[in-house]
């Protein structure tokens, strides 16, 4: 899930505490060896082989790699059938416990010849903020856990957490620490601004009705979305056009995906990353400013 190329997904965290020096090698990624009992492994890797994690003082770029060995369910079912047939022919119908044993045998056989599947999440720590190139909870949790192991404690970076705001809702349940119905209210107000539109043709939106029903819309969603909002639904996420940028913004969790950022041509990957991060930071700055304006709230700096 890239920061360095393609469309960008991004979740932010504030660094609560960290050591003076970060030892990424302490939790470096290691390959799963063939035949190993280990089926899931995660660790840090640099953006490029032999490159430093530290771009400059107090700024680090890193990737989190996860390799996981999983068995194809269809292949597993077919192999279990084969083993049961063999067992039936040799000793008669297998018992329930024997079937479980045969299933485990089939799984072990397939795992032994199945290559791991890899996923990579690109991240940047800069000025006390962690930019994670993903919105998937499994990925952001993995990044948070790995950083915790090397002494970095994080908190979701959202305006309501930074401002100490709280809100309750009878419709929306905040399941994660960074979620709040305040983000849903902000997203609705954001759509009232003249330079913000819901994507008119290939739109996407998610809502929760006043009865608690989850609704997903796709295509030309504006009329149907507005109907639900008029009936008291909360808007969870929507595909937006903000000025000239297109992105899927999740108000509840305050993160975005699908942000189109031009692939900058540069001699070194660090230059490409810096150029793309300018666009990513600009989008976050715009969203943060719009939140303060839309929710009639002073910034933390102004309060202090």
pTM confidence score? 0.86
- The pLDDT value recorded for residue 23 is 96
Phi-psi region of 124 (alpha: psi -120 to 50; beta: other; left: phi over 0): beta
- The pLDDT value recorded for residue 1 is 54
Give the pLDDT means over successive 10-residue stretches in the chain (304 positions): 88 97 96 82 94 94 94 87 88 88 84 84 97 96 97 98 92 92 96 94 96 96 96 97 94 96 85 94 97 76 46
Residue located via tokens 């919105």 = 135
CA 186 to chain CA centroid, nearest Å: 21
DSSP code for 150: T
Q: Rounded to an integer, what distance in angstroms lies between the CA atom of residue 255 and that of residue 237?
A: 10
């Amino acid at each position: 899930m890239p920061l360095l190329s393609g469309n960008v997904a991004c979740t932010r965290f504030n660094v609560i505490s960290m050591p003076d020096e970060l030892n990424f090698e302490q939790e470096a990624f290691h390959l799963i060896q063939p035949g190993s009992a280990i089926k899931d492994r995660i660790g840090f890797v640099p953006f490029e082989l032999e490159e430093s994690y530290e771009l400059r003082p107090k700024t680090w770029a890193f990737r989190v790699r996860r390799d996981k060995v999983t068995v194809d369910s269809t292949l597993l079912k077919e192999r279990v059938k084969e083993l049961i047939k063999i067992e039936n022919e040799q000793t008669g119908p297998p018992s329930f416990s024997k079937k479980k044993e045969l299933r485990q045998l089939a799984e072990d056989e397939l795992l032994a010849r199945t290559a791991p599947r890899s996923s990579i999440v690109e991240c940047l720590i800069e000025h006390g903020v962690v930019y994670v190139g993903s919105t998937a909870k499994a990925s952001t949790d993995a990044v948070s856990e790995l950083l915790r192991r090397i002494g970095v404690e994080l908190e979701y970076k959202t305006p309501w957490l930074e401002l100490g705001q709280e809100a309750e809702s009878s419709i929306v349940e905040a399941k994660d620490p960074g979620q709040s119905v305040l983000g849903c209210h902000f997203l609705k107000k954001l759509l009232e601004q003249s330079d913000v539109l819901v994507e008119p043709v290939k739109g996407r939106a998610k809502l929760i009705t006043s009865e608690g029903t989850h609704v997903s819309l796709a295509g030309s969603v504006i009329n149907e979305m507005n109907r639900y909002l008029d009936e008291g639904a909360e808007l969870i996420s929507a595909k937006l056009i903000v000025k000239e940028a297109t992105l899927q913004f999740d108000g509840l969790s305050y993160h975005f995906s699908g942000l189109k950022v031009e692939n900058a041509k540069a001699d070194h990957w660090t230059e490409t990353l810096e150029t793309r991060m300018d666009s990513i930071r600009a989008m976050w700055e715009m969203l943060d400013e719009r939140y303060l304006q839309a929710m009639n709230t002073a910034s933390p700096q102004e309060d202090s």
